[in-house]
Amino acid sequence: MRNVKQMAARRIRHVASSAPAGAARRAAGQATAALAALTVKRTLDLLLGSALLLLTAPALAVAAACLTVRSPRGPGGVVRRETRVGLGGRPFELRSLATRRCRFDLLSRLPHVVRGELSMVGPPPLTPDEAALLGAAASRWRHTVRPGLTGLAQVRARSRMPWDEPALLDAHYTEHHGAGLDLAILAQSVRIPLRTGLSALRLPGKAHLSDTDHRLPGYSKAE
């Protein structure tokens, strides 16, 4: 009986002594996984952001020149400057072209992606006033990721489902973000404007069809 008690005591001491080490290992593993995910996300931002910036630079330059000619306020009037809250709650000056044509305003923010102030995918960047309205819990999780050019809430903007509220979608993205989800959101962000543009180019159908176009052979009004 005494041996059993001694063995139980040794077992308890062993578990107690190994618990902090196990918790430390788990914390270290979680930190390593978070760092790896952040590194993959940042690498994706650098690659895609730099490639898109090189591809769209000529179009952005032309758009800026056209806006400069049309703007009575001079060259500075073509660029919109706004203070937004970024990673860790740090404010930064967001610069974008003052136009929504062809999404030039979003594309002109690509330098922020390359510099690390924005991500390709993430919650929308908030103004300091908007960030101040968030609760403490929402502020904590929102400040753990960079704001993005596009995000889960943006691609689901037309959904009327109750679980597709922008705040819930931003929280879901922050908790589950990764390279796979980012690529899916980017693909959806490209597909939606393309589908909208193609549907606008389609020839009207039923609006130009008369009633006789649908009548079967041998049809008569008397029948």
| Number of domains within the chain | 1
Q: Is 28 a member of any domain?
A: no
The amino acid at residue 141 is W
- Tell me the sheet residues that pair with 126: 85
Angle, CA of 49, 129 and 79, to the nearest 5°: 45
27 within a domain of the structure (yes/no): no
CA distance 190 to 154: 12
What global pTM score does this model have?
0.69
- Does residue 170 belong to any structural domain of this protein? yes
The more confident residue out of 110 and 142 is 110
Residue 18 within a domain: no
**79: which residues sit within 8 A by CB, 6+ positions away?**
64, 95, 96, 97, 98, 108
Residue 217 in any domain: the answer is no
CB atoms within 10 A of CB 23: 10
Report pLDDT digits (tens) over 29-66: 666 666 666 688 899 999 999 999 999 999 999 998 88
Give the tens place of pLDDT for each residue, 156-187: 876 666 666 888 888 889 888 888 899 999 99
Q: What DSSP letter does each residue of 111-143 carry, written as one string? A: HHHHHTSSEEESSPPBPHHHHHHS-HHHHHHHT
214, part of any domain: no
List the one residue out of 109, 122, 120, 150 whose CA is nearest residue 48. Answer: 120
Reference 66, options 41, 97, 89; nearest CA is 97
Domain with 108 in it: 36-197
Token pair for residue 110? Answer: 């690509």
Q: Is residue 83 part of a domain?
A: yes
Residue 136 is assigned to a structural domain of this protein: yes
As to burial, measured by CB atoms within 10 angstroms (0-12 exposed, 13-18 middle, 19+ buried), residue 41 is buried
User: What are the structure tokens assigned to 190, written together?
Assistant: 């490209």
Kindly indicate the confidence band of residue 219, based on its pLDDT and cuts at 50, 70 and 90: very low
Residue-wise pLDDT for 82-120, tens only, equals 999 999 999 999 999 988 877 889 999 999 999 999 999
Return the DSSP state at 217: T
Give the pLDDT confidence score for residue 123 in this predicted structure.
93
How far is it, in rounded angstroms, from Cα 89 to Cα 183? 25
